[in-house]
Chain A
């Protein structure tokens, strides 16, 4: 089953990315290579342009009608940007005719008032703190300095995201998560060992015997797995995620000792997994904290529905797992007649 889910996630994920990039390219969503007219205020004088300075701060003004007709937006006011202009250097020995059109590079500063399409392109360009554009001079009168500009093209947005935000970032995250687990894992495994040797874990297991033996008929009531599972479920109930995962993994280890067929999940493991995935939580502390921070009049009012939903989910989940365990296709995997 996991094989199919994995395949589906990867194939659909990349497939959708390709499709949406091709769609963006064919409709030229970001208007790559199209020019927009703009005028420059407080432009550097012609003298200073030919001097040795590399860049100048300017104010860029775009008529809303031009912007709207290009991007299909609905902006009413004049659009102003603070920008830095980097004119292309011309060596003094080159004649003016060397470059048919004089131009250069613009770094446009993005702020709250930047139109959203440009903000989006800014994010996609991944330049640190500016929107990169190229410009060509149209009219170089100091009082009426006009240029046309085109933003640095953005292409294959989704495929880039798949590579950087999907594959590379998540591979790293996975290892970070696992490493972060080591310390807390060591702590709880140590504590559990004390509990085991003192007989506390098996005592805990037999305490809830009537329930646990029904849930996990294949596991002896005084087996350490029972105690670990009960501790995991208790930690989950209290919303102690830090303790719940290590205790759950400890329980899995114990359950695996009863497993005659390595690499294949036993019925008890599946039932235990479903209990964990249905989040038996009496106190959803994180949710309450976020609601309280957002200024809710009653952050805990969701407790009732959460508990009811969890209990029903748990019952349905465990019942499903138990019923499915009887299916021949799953039974066969365990008995090894596959």
Chain B
């Protein structure tokens, strides 16, 4: 397993430099004016960053209100009868709720659970799988759609929520059958 960790380390270290190198060299070989092309493309970077600000503020403030007001705990207590039904320990529920809303929040909850229950406990493994198998849906929605000014999101939100629910259910189920 140690080798797997080090292979992963190596991949994540070399991936970006080699990708940059490859594209630049390929461009040069194809006689692209690489420097000019780069600058021309990069110019847009600022605009994209600024363009997503209102969408990101709207989304994060709403999520911030929801978290700070303690609504998360109330939601957890409402949903707690369901956890037994699907084989989820009650302690893992906050993770399931926060995962689509806040990436840093989910990371905090995961680290906390891993610290208190141990990384190799069932619940420690379960939150690890949850973290790895789903994404901060609402952040992605705000940033991606915000960058092109889209407010009518059609089926993206319901489909994204369905995907989140499936990710949580699969994480619980797979953890229970593999490690349970």
Interface residues in chain A, defined as those with a beta carbon under 8 Å from any beta carbon in chain B:
1-2, 5-6, 9-10, 12-17, 20, 158-159, 161-162, 164-167, 169-171, 173-175, 177-179, 181-183, 185-187, 189-200, 238-240, 242-243, 245-246, 248-249, 252-253, 255-256, 259, 262-265, 269-270, 272-274, 276-279, 281, 283-288, 290-292, 294-306, 308-310, 312-314, 316-318, 320-321, 324-325, 327, 330, 333-334
Contacts and interface: CB of A to CB of B under 8 A. Distances in A.
A167 B49 contact: no
Given A158-B68, A288-B5, A263 B152 contact: yes
Contact of A16 (B8, B74, B147, B163): B74
B39, B63, B159, B164: most-surrounded residue (chain A CB, <10 A) = B159
Contact of A198 (B30, B44, B52): B30
Contacts of B170: 308-309, 312-313
A327 B32 CA distance: 45
Nearest to A262: B149
Q: Chain B contact residues: over half helix, strand or loop, or mixed?
A: helix
B60 A1 contact: no
Given A13-B71, A286-B107, A310-B167, A190 B156 contact: no
B7 to A, nearest CB: 9
B81 interface: no
Interface string B124-142: 1100110111110110110
Contacts of A10: 62, 65-66
25 contacts: A2-B153, A6-B59, A158-B70, A181-B49, A181-B143, A187-B42, A189-B44, A194-B38, A198-B26, A200-B23, A200-B30, A249-B48, A263-B149, A270-B153, A273-B141, A274-B160, A278-B135, A288-B8, A294-B124, A296-B124, A313-B133, A313-B163, A316-B166, A317-B159, A325-B155
Contact of A278 (B4, B24, B155, B163): B163
B38 A273 contact: no
A330 B155 CA distance: 7
Contacts of B155: 270, 320-321, 324-325, 327, 330
Nearest to A159: B69
Given A198-B32, A312-B166, A324-B158, A238 B15 contact: yes
Interface of B: 1, 4-5, 8, 11-12, 15-16, 19-20, 23-24, 26-27, 29-30, 32, 34, 37-46, 48-50, 52-53, 56-71, 74, 100, 107, 110-111, 114-115, 118-120, 124-125, 128-129, 131-135, 137-138, 140-141, 143-145, 147-160, 162-164, 166-167, 170-171, 174-175, 178-179
Contact of A194 (B23, B74, B118, B158): B23
A281 B132 contact: yes
A194 B162 CA distance: 37
Given A20-B70, A242-B16, A306-B133, A320 B159 contact: yes
B71 A12 contact: yes
Nearest to A312: B170
A16 B69 contact: yes
B41 A191 contact: yes
B147 A252 contact: yes
Given A200-B26, A290-B114, 20 more contacts: A2-B151, A13-B71, A17-B68, A165-B68, A170-B64, A189-B48, A200-B23, A238-B15, A240-B12, A270-B159, A276-B140, A277-B135, A277-B163, A279-B167, A285-B12, A288-B5, A290-B119, A300-B5, A306-B128, A308-B174
A243 B16 contact: yes
B33 to A, nearest CB: 8
Contacts of A276: 135, 140, 144
A179 B56 CA distance: 11
Contacts of A263: 149-152
Nearest to A187: B42
Contact of A324 (B41, B45, B115, B159): B159
A90 B26 CA distance: 83
B119 A299 contact: yes
B133 A300 contact: no
A243 B40 contact: no
A170 B139 CA distance: 12
